[in-house]
Amino acid sequence: MSNRILLALDGSAMDAAAFEEARRIACGGAEIHLLHVVPSRAVPVGTPLMGMTDTAQEGPLAVGGTGAEAHVTGAFPSSARGDDGWQDEPRIYDQAVRYLEEYRRRLRGVSGQDLIRTGAPAEAILAVALTFNIDLIVMSTHARTGFARWLMGSVSDVVLRRSQLPVLLVPKDIRPRPERLRRILVPLTTGAPESRAILSVVKPLAVRLNAEIYLIEVVDPIHPGVGLESVGRDIASSGAAWHSLTVHGDPTEEVLRHAKRHNVDLVAMSAPARKGHHPFGRSVPEGVLARIDLPILLQIPVIHEKR
């Protein structure tokens, strides 16, 4: 898993942090495909695009191994008025190409394609992920003031729900971390096997990056859990190192506290489906995402997603 990474660059200042996370996870031989979406109405590159509401359309796809080789077929959005007059379609496209070139030059030794698509950002991300058989999507999230903004119709939510792929969200004000991903915190719930679904992504990632997995189980003192030994043995059989933490208290607070205490580099957990039961309850992913200063890897367990 995670051998083919799609990095969605929205033109905002947060792209740099998302890029660093993708590069960190790609260590060990993964591909990174870069994607920039131009809305169906033209705006300059540098305008955040991923949060826009836009109508879906079948847009052109530009593909190139280095960015300099990128090309496009079809028509770009209609011209927009700029400070120096009307911008023609080639200029809009050239802006996007140059934007991706800047990042591709920093990915020496990492293979992948540079992709430009027009239309609705979420639809474009989903289409590219399907076309290129992507394993993991990386994107920034601008929502730090409440989970509702993320849950109710944002691009990241649409991508997460409809792709059923793991999505690595990079929050605003992410704290600096080492070049190598060293420790991954995975919250689990006893009696909820769907909370373990994220391990199918985390285990091979930890093996490839030589990272340690920290399992955390927050239990009720009256109804203690059965422990994480069986999960740990499964992780060990995959070749990854692991540690287990069984704690009491508020789940959100404990996840945040132990992420800081153990200086982890990534939190990975199941995400809430719109409908149905969630192993942690909706408030835990909500609280973690709203307050975390680390990237968070989310995936909706397939058995709980209803389209």
Domain span including residue 37: 4-170
Please, what is the end-to-end C-alpha distance for the chain in angstroms? 24
Residue 249: how many other CB atoms lie within 10 Å = 11
The last residue of a domain, from among 170, 197, 229: 170
Mean pLDDT by 10 residues, the chain (307 residues): 87 91 90 89 50 38 42 39 51 86 92 91 94 95 52 72 90 82 90 84 94 89 67 94 91 93 94 56 72 91 54
Predicted pLDDT of residue 89: 59
pTM comes to 0.81
Indicate the number of domains in the chain: 2
* Partners of 114 in the β-ladder: 34, 64
Q: Do both 19 and 160 map to the same domain?
A: yes
Q: Do both 94 and 198 map to the same domain?
A: no
Q: Do both 10 and 136 map to the same domain?
A: yes
Q: Do both 37 and 166 map to the same domain?
A: yes
Q: Do both 144 and 195 map to the same domain?
A: no
CATH number assigned to the domain comprising residue 239: 3.40.50.620
Beta strands in the chain (DSSP E): 4-9, 31-38, 61-64, 80-82, 85-87, 114-118, 136-140, 167-170, 183-188, 212-219, 241-248, 266-270, 296-299
Predicted pLDDT of residue 49: 46
Domain-embedded: residue 176: no
The last residue of a domain, from among 146, 170, 194: 170
Q: Do both 199 and 134 map to the same domain?
A: no
